[in-house]
């Protein structure tokens, strides 16, 4: 995982979908993983170069405020390589 990692947590599937759409269209990022963390909270992880991830998260924040509720955002510039095994997109038993 040599690229930057961006994390945004929102409440609701509609909000998460709107954020993903806007983030992917606004900057050169890709969705790395989507997790439902409970009580309607959805965590979206994106990857890309640092500037693109920062820009995408700013767009995602504004969309989240417009459509629903924003919980938190975070950018990790050069994540530790061992972090990838903790947030692996393929859950146990999933198709690879």
H helix intervals, the chain: 13-26, 50-67, 83-86
User: For 27-79, what is each residue's pLDDT tens digit?
Assistant: 999 999 999 988 999 999 999 999 999 999 999 999 999 999 999 999 999 88
Is residue 64 within 8 A of residue 94, CB to CB? The reply is no
Q: Residue 94: is its pLDDT beyond 80?
A: no
Q: Residue 96: is its pLDDT beyond 50?
A: no
In the numeric block, the tokens 């790395």 are attached to: 32
DSSP H or E run through 69: strand 69-76
Q: Please count the helices (runs of H) and the strands (runs of E) in the chain.
A: 3, 4
pTM of the entire predicted model: 0.85
The pLDDT score that the predictor gives to residue 92 is 47
User: For 21-33, what is each residue's pLDDT tens digit?
Assistant: 999 999 999 999 9
Spell out the domains of the chain, with CATH numbers in brackets: 4-79 (3.30.70.1710)
């Amino acid at each position: 995982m040599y690229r930057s990692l961006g994390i945004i947590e929102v409440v609701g599937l509609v909000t998460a979908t709107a954020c993903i759409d806007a983030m992917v269209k606004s900057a050169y990022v890709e969705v790395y993983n989507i997790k439902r963390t409970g009580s309607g909270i959805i965590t979206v992880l994106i990857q890309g170069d640092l500037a693109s991830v920062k820009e995408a998260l700013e767009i995602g924040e504004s969309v989240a405020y417009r459509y629903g509720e924003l919980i938190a955002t975070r950018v990790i510039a050069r994540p530790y390589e061992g972090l990838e095994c903790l947030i692996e997109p393929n859950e146990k038993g999933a198709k690879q």
